[in-house]
Amino acid sequence: MAVINTEHADTLRLRLREGGTVLVDYGAPWCPPCQTLLPTLEELDEEYGSSVTILKVNCDVLPELAAEAGVMGLPTVIVYNGGQPMEKLVGLRPKSAYQGVLDRFAAANSR
């Protein structure tokens, strides 16, 4: 699988309804920390494979999704499990921070 660029609000809503662990990166192309985060997301996608879905939301194109998620700063990464937001990480974090959150929820889903 690959990091999915969300082009329509329904794409995100459908993925969340499907359940499982979904990491959503709320960012913008003009945001340097958001650009720095992209290679980390691609690495996480390779590491977690089908156990985690990774989506990118461009907050300039889909501001309604950012508002619904309560995004106040970029990048904001929210990990959803079973369609519910479980963890919100605001600002650029080390890869290990994202791994720690994903390990908790992706492991629970694989049992």
Its pTM surpasses 0.75: yes
Annotated catalytic residue 34: yes
Annotated catalytic residue 59: no
Catalytic annotation, pick one of 16, 23, 34, 74: 34
The CATH superfamily holding the domain 4-107 is: Glutaredoxin (3.40.30.10)
**What backbone phi and psi angles, to 5 degrees, belong to 106?**
-65, -40
Q: Any idea where the domains of the chain sit in the sequence?
A: 4-107
- pLDDT tens across the length of the chain (111 residues): 689 999 999 999 999 999 999 999 999 999 999 999 999 999 999 999 999 999 999 999 999 999 999 999 999 999 999 999 999 999 999 999 999 999 999 876 654
HEC letters along 2-33: CCEEECCHHHHHHHHHCCCEEEEEEECCCCHH
Pairing of strands 76-81, 4-6: unpaired
